[in-house]
């Protein structure tokens, strides 16, 4: 069961297009996996769309401005699950339905939907499909950890991280922020227990030790804006090289 979600403000900002691209990507991928947040995004999208639909009494300038805003909204629609798009089409005029249809059609044909590690395939949220061919090779880290970098273009770099059963990331805090989405499996970190679909935020106020305790291990998608800072034992010797980890 998904217990950790983006905040209400993050979901609202997501629909309005005011989140940073990296955080918007994480929120969108979470929504692919979470019916609760799908519904909240749907409600907020409908509210925003209702404000943008021009009336017969609006001036041409107002209509042009609404068209531009609607274009921004469509960039978010292409990230939404098809069930949400179907609902959106019901409440909009034919010309808007056609535009939404075309946008969704483009988002439906992104190619592959899985990544592979050691013969095991993991199905990704639809938002992440377009990054499969931008994912680098897996490399083994300390313990039972594997990492594959993901090129996000001008948004930076993310990582798929796989923790094998019993594998853990050494105790650390963050110089910046870390957003993590659990793609498959579950893990604990001394603060909470996280399951598939959970959306996790960490910053310098928290210290944790992620560890996969399930038999199947755990795959996560993570974006950090600064290297980790290891805080315990011999792991502290890694700090001069921490920019090589999960960055």
Dihedral (CA of 55, 60, 63, 67) sign: positive
Please report the pLDDT score of residue 38 as a whole number. Answer: 95
Q: Which of 42-46, 78-82, 93-97, 214-218 has the lowest mean pLDDT?
A: 93-97
- Give Cα separations from 31 to 6, 8, 18, 73, 119 (angstroms): 9, 13, 17, 16, 28
Q: Which of 9-13, 57-61, 130-134, 217-221 has the lowest mean pLDDT?
A: 57-61
pLDDT at 105 over 60: no
Q: What pTM value is reported for the model?
A: 0.71
Please report the pLDDT score of residue 118 as a whole number. Answer: 86
Q: Encoding tokens for residue 30?
A: 């979470």
Q: What is the pLDDT of residues 44-86, one digit of tens each?
A: 999 888 887 765 445 544 554 544 454 455 445 445 555 554 5
Domain ranges of the chain: 8-108, 114-244
| Mean pLDDT, residues 84-92 taken together | 49
| Mean pLDDT, residues 101-117 taken together | 56
In degrees, rounded to 5, the angle at the alpha carbon of residue 241 between the alpha carbons of residues 135 and 136 is: 10
Q: Which fold has domain 114-244?
A: Jelly Rolls (2.60.120)
What is the separation, in whole angstroms, between the first and last Cα of the chain? 29
Q: Which residues contact 182 (CB under 8 A, 6 or more apart)?
A: 194, 195, 196, 197, 198, 200, 218, 219, 220
Task: Tell me how far apart the 2 most distant CA atoms of the chain are, in Å.
Answer: 70
């Amino acid at each position: 069961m998904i217990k950790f979600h983006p905040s209400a403000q993050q979901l609202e900002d997501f629909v309005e297009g005011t989140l940073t691209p990296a955080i918007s990507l994480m929120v969108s991928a979470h929504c692919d996996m979470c019916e609760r947040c799908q519904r909240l995004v749907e409600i907020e999208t409908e509210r925003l769309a209702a404000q943008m639909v021009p009336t017969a009494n609006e001036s041409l300038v107002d209509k042009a401005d609404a068209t531009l805003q609607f274009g921004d909204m469509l960039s978010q629609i292409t990230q939404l699950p098809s069930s949400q798009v179907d609902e959106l089409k019901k409440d909009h005029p034919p010309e808007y339905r056609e535009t939404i249809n075309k946008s969704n059609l483009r988002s439906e044909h992104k190619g592959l939907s899985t990544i592979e590690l050691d013969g095991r395939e993991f199905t990704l949220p639809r938002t992440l499909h377009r990054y499969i061919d931008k994912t680098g090779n897996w490399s083994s880290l300390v313990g039972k950890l594997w990492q594959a970098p993901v090129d996000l273009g001008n948004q930076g770099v993310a990582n798929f991280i796989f923790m094998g059963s019993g594998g853990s990331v050494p105790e650390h805090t963050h110089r910046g922020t870390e957003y993590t989405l659990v793609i498959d499996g579950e893990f604990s970190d001394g603060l909470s227990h996280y399951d598939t679909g959970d959306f996790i935020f960490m910053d310098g106020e928290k210290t944790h030790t992620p560890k996969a305790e399930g038999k199947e291990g755990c795959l996560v998608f993570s974006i950090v804006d600064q290297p980790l800072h290891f805080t315990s034992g011999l792991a502290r010797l890694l700090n001069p090289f921490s920019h090589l980890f999960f960055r």
